[in-house]
Amino acid sequence: MRAVVRERYGVPAVLRVADVGEPPAPTGDEVHVRVAAAGVAMGDWHLVTGLPSVMRLVTGLRAPREPGVGLDLAGTVAAVGPDVADLRPGDRVLGCGRAAFAETAVTRARRVAALPAHVPFTAAAAVPTSGTTALHALRSGRVRAGSRVLVLGAGGGVGTLAVRLAVLAGGEVTAATARAGAAEALLAAGATAVVDRSAGPASLGSGYDAVLVTGGLTPLRDLRRLLGARGALVLVGAEGGGRVVGGGLARQARAAALDPWVRHRLRSVVSRENPADLARLRDLLAAGDLAPVLDRTYPLAEAGEAIERVASGAARGKVVLTVA
């Protein structure tokens, strides 16, 4: 069985495809998935580079503890452990797994959901983590019917899904992006307006009920100026600004400290995969209500290039590896 592996942290070029042998037969609630497609996200870049370095406390200080890479997957169940009642070999699934950039990934029954035959694997693999993160962000921002929502950084993986999910929640959504060519898909997803964020926050309007931030290190005071009196600022993530902690995490810490003292609701997203959100995303895919914007697909052997594509900021929507 071929899988993407690495022995050290570094640029995505450290990744290579190796024959790692078949995993041992599943035990307990384990599920083996023959991966058809695997979603690529900024989280994969973080795991491969080991940056910001505070995360190495979890992933391995000097070198990565796990050689494998990849989280989001869609494919066909190859084998199930004795405690798995509702999945059988041959079933189509989407979800998350350990080392998903592989021909076979090991996961657990609660981390995957059955996928109807008409949903393409590439679309399904684009959704689990980024979609769950977007759902968390909408909940943190208390987005509901009639909410005026700004998605600041709308052209990437989480942003494109957040726009669509906010529209489905009944929000009136402004999508702010600097990504070339992103506007058409965002309008098709139901955004009321697409604005160019590169002119700075002063050009993004004001009075929003919720502002979801997927990137950039815009200071909190400038972000709060976008909000109505009781609006919610939801910090999803941001790159850069420090190799040890990262500017995005530092801003999240400042927001948590400030939150009790201001009328605005200042929240940070810590997305955790869960069966309820995965089932909801699957149902939206199956109904045709959610169609992730797909930028490009890459073969397994080009996982490094795929991660570079995401990190470059040029991808419109999601990047996916096609495996089988």
Ligand X SMILES: NC(=O)c1ccc[n+]([C@@H]2O[C@H](COP(=O)([O-])OP(=O)(O)OC[C@H]3O[C@@H](n4cnc5c(N)ncnc54)[C@H](OP(=O)(O)O)[C@@H]3O)[C@@H](O)[C@H]2O)c1
Residues of this chain that bind ligand X (CB under 6 A): 41-43, 130, 133, 152-159, 177-179, 182, 197, 214-216, 218, 236-239, 248, 269-271, 310, 313
User: Residue 29 in contact with residue 81, Cβ under 8 Å?
Assistant: yes
**Cβ at position 180, least distance to ligand X in Å:** 9
**Cβ at position 78, least distance to ligand X in Å:** 28
For ligand X, the closer of residues 148 and 197 by Cβ is: 197
For ligand X, the closer of residues 36 and 151 by Cβ is: 151
**Cβ at position 235, least distance to ligand X in Å:** 8
For ligand X, the closer of residues 79 and 176 by Cβ is: 176
Q: Which two tokens stand for residue 315?
A: 């991808």
Could you give the maximum distance between any two Cα atoms of the chain, in Å? 58
For ligand X, the closer of residues 42 and 87 by Cβ is: 42
Q: How many CA atoms lie within 13 A of 321 on its CB side?
A: 31
For ligand X, the closer of residues 26 and 248 by Cβ is: 248
Residue 195's nearest CA partner among 242, 131, 149 is: 149
**Cβ at position 282, least distance to ligand X in Å:** 19
**Cβ at position 81, least distance to ligand X in Å:** 28
Interacting residues of 249 by C-beta distance below 8 A, sequence separation 6+: 52, 54
**Cβ at position 224, least distance to ligand X in Å:** 15
User: Residue 217 in contact with residue 251, Cβ under 8 Å?
Assistant: yes
For ligand X, the closer of residues 96 and 236 by Cβ is: 236
User: Residue 183 in contact with residue 194, Cβ under 8 Å?
Assistant: yes
Interacting residues of 288 by C-beta distance below 8 A, sequence separation 6+: none
Q: Which two tokens stand for residue 258?
A: 């400030």
Pairwise CA distance, residues 43 & 229, whole Å: 33
